[in-house]
Structure formats: C-alpha cells, structure tokens
Amino acid sequence: MVKGKGIEKAVIPVAGFGTRLLPATKAQPKEMLPIVDKPAVQYVVEEAVNSGIEDILLVTGRNKRAIEDYFDYAVELERELESKGKTELLNIVRNVSEMVSIYYVRQKIAKGLGDAIYHAKGFVSDEPFGVLLADDIIDADVPVLKQMIDVFENHKGIILAVMEVPIQDTKLYGIIEGKKIGDRLYEVSNLVEKPEPMEAPSNIAIVGRYILTPSIFESLENTPPGKNGEVQITDAIKNLAHKEKIYAYKFEGTRFDVGEKLGYLKANIAFALKRKDIGKEFKKYLLEVLKEAE
C-alpha cells in the first residue's frame, strides 16, 4: 500500500471562501492576505519546499486566480525592476515564481476539505503525500512537514499533526483518541470531528498538516457528507483505522490560525518581530502603544 519512497509531493487546498475574514476576502483570496510582506500562502509553500517537497498541487476555486498569477512570472514587473537596476527586488520577485513546480486543479463546488483532497488523486497517483492547509501558518525551527516526514520514515502510515487545546475548544477541531507511544507520538484508535467538550475523547486536536497514503482516495469515495453537508477528511481517515496505522505527532512550533481575525493579527506581530529590518523598531512601537493603553 505504501511504497518505500519518501514524500515528494504536497497538496495545498486553497478553494475556501474565507468567510471568517470578511469583508477583506470579499474580492480577494484569503490566502493572498499579507503576513508582513508575503501572502499567507507563500509561508505554507515555503514550508513544503524546505521540507524537501518537489511538486505542489494547489486545489483552487472560483476567484482564486490571483494565487495562480502570484506564483507565475511577472514579465512586465520584472522588466521594470531590471531597467531601474532594482536587483534585490527583482530577485525576490523571481524567486517566488521559481521556488518549486506548482500545478493547479479547480474544485468547482465547495464540498469540504475531503473533497478538495480527492481532487489530488491523479496528481499523487500511488504515492504517499503531504497536505498543508493555508489557514495554519506554523513558526518552527524545523518545518513541521519535515518533522512529520522524519516520523513517517520510521512509522509508515497516516501521520496527523496535533496540538493540545483547552477542553472547551474541542468543538473547533478534529480530536484524536489513542495511546502515547513516544515523546511526541500517539497511535490513533479513533477520530471525532468537532466534538462538544463533554463528548471529546481527549484534548489533542488535529491541525492543518497531514501525511496521507493513497488509500485515502478510496475511503473518500465511500465517505458520506458529514457536518455542514461537507466531506470531512477526518471521517475518511477514521474509516481507515481498521486496516491502516494512523499516528498523531505533536509538532514543535507555534501555530497561527490566519483564517480568523485574531490569529491573523497575532501572526503579523510575531513575524514582524522576527524581522531583522523592522523588528527592533516595531517592538519599540508596540511597547509605546501598550504603555499608552494602560
């Protein structure tokens, strides 16, 4: 079922409407909203590239053309920068379009994350592959997908990225049930999609990073729509528990949910503070603002 090769392909679903960030996302993709000076989707693409991924599939939808244009060559802009000798900016622009091979497929009707991933069937064929959700930007010394690929080398099967959440927040996540088999590793026996706190089997929540095996596609074909009438990837993974190993890995890093307003603002602050060019002055400004707010 799972061949001996490593993880070379990744899928990034970007077809969502971004309703939690309205009205900013009314006329532009949420994935193109900037975190400091790069669109959110670029952070996720860079994580995949820095994890050794060679080919990326973006599952898009209507009104997502800006994402495709962003990772394409900008001929007129490059000519303008070159003619004015702005070499540094020129290199930044070109690096975006040349960092990795990117392919596209359109999810014509929004039927959920599971359906979006199913659109990658022809792209990944019979290989295990990574999935990265653009709503989740994770600041980590070692890219989270790379951490998971390292786990996959020793534990062939489905790998889920997880983190602990307050028990009252379980209704916002897919929640795992399982036993701990390592420092950060669990063997999963069950998954529950967005359970109420009293019904949650744990407070270990799935976040937007997965390593999936090709068997997921058959499971998706046989998974009926779940909550909100959408095909849930959590349900499809759960259906494989009786015949395939499923692991959950508690990643090292700080996760930001940039698909909602507070998480988006937190990410901008965190990444701005890390910048060598503006971090010092930005910190000074924040301290002044906080002092005035007291």
Local structure of residue 175 (DSSP, 8 states): E
pTM across the whole model: 0.91
Whether the bond into 23 is cis, omega within 30 of 0: yes
Q: What is the dihedral of CA 159, 258, 8, 191, to 10 degrees?
A: 20
Q: Return d(Cα 53, Cα 75) in angstroms, integer.
A: 26
Structure token pair of residue 175: 């929640």
Q: Where are the strands (E) in the chain, listed by range? A: 9-13, 34-35, 38-39, 55-60, 101-106, 129-132, 136-139, 158-164, 174-180, 185-193, 204-212, 246-250, 254-257
CA distances from 194 to 97, 183, 240, 282 (A): 37, 25, 19, 37
- Whole-number pLDDT of residue 4: 47
Residue 18 near residue 29 (C-beta atoms within 8 A): yes
Q: Where are the strands (E) in 14-115, listed by range? A: 34-35, 38-39, 55-60, 101-106
CB-hemisphere CA count at 13 Å for 133? Answer: 22
Structure token pair of residue 205: 């929540």
- Whole-number pLDDT of residue 3: 44
Among candidate residues 124, 159, 106, the one with its CA nearest the CA of residue 53: 124
- Whole-number pLDDT of residue 40: 95
Domains of the chain: 9-293 (3.90.550.10)
- Whole-number pLDDT of residue 287: 96
- Residue recorded with tokens 């702005």: 86
**Reduced to 3 states, what is the DSSP secondary structure of residue 24?**
coil
- Whole-number pLDDT of residue 5: 59
Tell me how crowded residue 2 is: count the other CB atoms within 10 A of its CB. 16
pLDDT along the chain (294 residues), means of 10: 69 88 88 94 95 94 88 86 86 82 89 92 93 96 97 94 96 93 94 91 96 95 82 90 93 96 97 96 96 86
Local structure of residue 177 (DSSP, 8 states): E
Q: Return d(Cα 184, Cα 165) in angstroms, integer.
A: 15
